[in-house]
Amino acid sequence: MTLEFVLRKGESNMIEKLLGAAAMAAVIFSTASASAASIGCSGANLEKTESAIEAMADGDGKWVAEKEVAMAQSAMLDGKMGACAVHLSKAMRAAK
């Protein structure tokens, strides 16, 4: 075996690993997005989440939840319902 053959084989193996990692990341991302979108970005869900946040004790969790609600509202106004659902989901998790 020549050094060139060994290097090319190593490059091929690395590319296969990178492609595998990219495929796994795509599956994970699509699953996370789908579960976040199932929450639905609606005025009722935003209102429910805001009520839960108001009941929270002051602290970092409340601040994060409020920031996520603000980003969800902004995304909703811009017509980006997927982004709205993701931010709303994060706000709901922070409010729990």
Q: Which of 55, 56, 85, 54 is nearest to 68 (CA)?
A: 85
pLDDT confidence of residue 95: 80
CA torsion 10-14-15-19 (nearest 10°) is: 150
For the entire predicted model, the pTM comes to 0.59
For the chain, give the longest Cα–Cα distance. 69
**pLDDT 10s digits, 57-82:** 999 999 999 999 999 999 999 999 99
